[in-house]
Amino acid sequence: MFRSVLFLQYAIILAISFVSGVVCFQFFPLDKSMQLIGYIDPRILELTDISKLGTIIPLVAWMVLVLFFATHSYLHVLAKFVVAVKITFFGFSSVFLLTQQESLLVYSVWWFPFQLVYCFLLFVLCSVYSAKKVGPQKKYFFSQRLFVTVLVALSVICAGEIAAISYVLPRFQLH
């Protein structure tokens, strides 16, 4: 029961945040949108010159930020907020990619599937440090098994994204 409620909560946050990003894109002028995207994830602006390090750094930055808040006993609620901000950027940049010429394939092969999985895994990362009631007090536990599982899953997805960028996207892009 608890897991299904948690999944529902994450799905609602995902949907609302993604739609919020889509709506936010409508309020930004294109040059300001490109500037914001350039600060957060410049790969979206220059699809032909994406490095492996350029793929890893944004992912690690989001992971560190989520872990920082998730492992703090008073700030753990902000970890979900950080993931919601990531999803909002996901929606924002998705609209940007879809409004560019010839990027529907790039969006469907690279951006959407990988970012969606990253967002779900970041939600799971929010749960690595959880409270359990032991007697009259709450005790906090760090789930090493869950942390390692999420870390391995993120690494595998990141390797898949690098493969998609390196081998699949060049075949789809029209020059």
Residue 175 confidence (pLDDT):
45
Spans of all domains in the chain: 2-172
Over range 27-53, report the average pLDDT: 87
| CA dist., res. 18 & res. 88, Å (int) | 5
| Segment among 65-79, 94-108, 109-123 with least mean pLDDT | 94-108
Q: Specify the DSSP class assigned to residue 51.
A: -
Q: Which long-range contacts (CB under 8 A, 24 or more apart) does 42-50 make?
A: 44/93, 44/96, 44/97, 44/111, 47/103, 47/106, 47/169, 47/173, 48/173, 50/165
| Res. 48: pLDDT tops 80 | no
Number of residues that make up the chain: 175
User: Which residues of the chain form beta strands (DSSP E)?
Assistant: 129-134, 137-142
Q: Whole-model pTM? A: 0.87
Over range 88-96, report the average pLDDT: 94
